[in-house]
Structure formats: C-alpha cells, structure tokens
Amino acid sequence: MPAPIRVIIVEDDTAMREEFERMVLAQPGLELVGSAQSIAQACALLAATAPPPDVALIDLGLPDGDGVALIAQAVRDMPRLAVLVATIFGDEAHVIRAIEAGAHGYLLKDTSIEEFSRALGLVFEGGSPLSPQIARHLLKRFLPAERKPVPAGEQALTGREIDILTRISYGFTVAETAQQMHISAHTVATHIKNIYGKLAVHNRVEAVNQARRRGLIL
C-alpha cells in the first residue's frame, strides 16, 4: 500500500476547519498531520513537522495576516510542499496573487468529499486542480476579447472551437474542459479533431502553436 498523503490544514473558521479535518480523516489515502488557525500557528506547525507534510490546505483570510504571504514562505522553505488554497465563491480576485506566490490549485470550501479527496491527490501528484467556477473566472480574464480575422483560404474556427483550444492551451484535459463547458468529453474530443483538420496539424502542441501564430488565442 502506498504511504498516505500527509496533510496540514490552515483555516481560522472553526466549523470549516473541523469539516476539513473530518474529510481528511474519512479518506484512507490521507493522513492529517495537524491544523492551524493563524499564520503564526501554521509556521510553528510546519517547523515542528518532520518529515514535512505533502500538502497544505490554506485559507487566504487569516486573522494575523494574508494567507498569500504564508504560501510564499511555505513553498520557499519547503519546495516539495504542494499548496491547495481553500476559498469561497466570489473570492476569485485573489487567485492570481496566490498562484504567483506558489499555490498549485484552488478548491471551493463547499466542495464534496469526493472532489476534496481528488483535489488533494491531484495536487500531490503535481497537478493543478481548479474548481470549475474558478477556472471559468480565469478563462474569462484571459480569453482574448476580439478574434482576429481569418486570412482568405483558411478554415475559420468556431467560437466553441476557440474556447476549447484556449482551455487546452492552459493545460486542461479533455474531461476537465468538458466539465467546465457542461458538454460531454466525446463532444470535446470531436471538436479537437475538427480543430486539427482546420489547422492542418496532428497534435495539441501543434494546434496551440498554430492558433497562436494566427492570433486566434493568446
């Protein structure tokens, strides 16, 4: 059996912290190393934990400072530590700051226990889990406002094809793209096949590079 993923929780809301603790304890693949409700407590916990934890679930609004500062310090002191931010819907403005500080993923606080466990496992394995609402916010922020005209003789991509290709360029899988767009994975795969044909390419890397050269995506 593989060793469990060792988790610490940093959350100042008592009820929420206890809920996170319960969710960790309920999963056999996770181990709760400890919890903290402030930056000071979190720093002490991290310093006293040996070996270091695998994943830290960190709230951004802490009573003694900004959770972003804690994230920056934690990933600087523990390069192998994966940080998953726990946030509430409507707090998307802090996404970029936390990612720049070193956060690896975002999780909404009202997530299900299945999604919670999946997100911790994914971030531990090097992935970047994002709640669909957070992903949509990021895509709205970075999707180009205007599409450049397609040169004569070239097949135009539809708006949906461009949106799918943009998501693929950000690293989202077919399944994640389908979830975000509320369509089936088969439909996404069909669109990707059509994109390849229109751009005369054979894989995703070529498709993304070709679309960027044509100014279709950023």
User: Quick one: pLDDT at residue 100?
Assistant: 80
Amino acid at 33: V
Whether the pLDDT of residue 46 is over 70: the answer is: yes
Sign, CA dihedral 46-19-109-117, equals positive
Q: pTM above the 0.75 mark?
A: no
User: Quick one: pLDDT at residue 132?
Assistant: 67
Q: Which CATH architecture group holds 144-213?
A: Orthogonal Bundle (1.10)
What is the CA angle 94-84-2, rounded to 5? 170
Q: Give 98's DSSP letter.
A: H
Q: What is the pLDDT of residues 117-143, one digit of tens each?
A: 888 888 888 887 776 666 666 666 655
Three-class HEC string of 127-164: CCCECHHHHHHHHHHHCCCCCCCCCCCCCCCCHHHHHH
Q: Of all helices (H) and strands (E), which one includes residue 107?
A: strand 105-108
Q: What is the pLDDT of residues 90-119, one digit of tens each?
A: 555 677 778 888 888 888 888 888 888 888
Range 65-81 average pLDDT: 91
Q: Determine the Cα–Cα distance for residues 56 and 175; give it in Å rounded to an integer.
A: 26
Where in the chain are the domains?
5-138, 144-213
Which CATH number among 1.20.1250.20, 1.10.3720.10, 1.10.10.10, 3.40.50.2300 corresponds to the domain 5-138? 3.40.50.2300
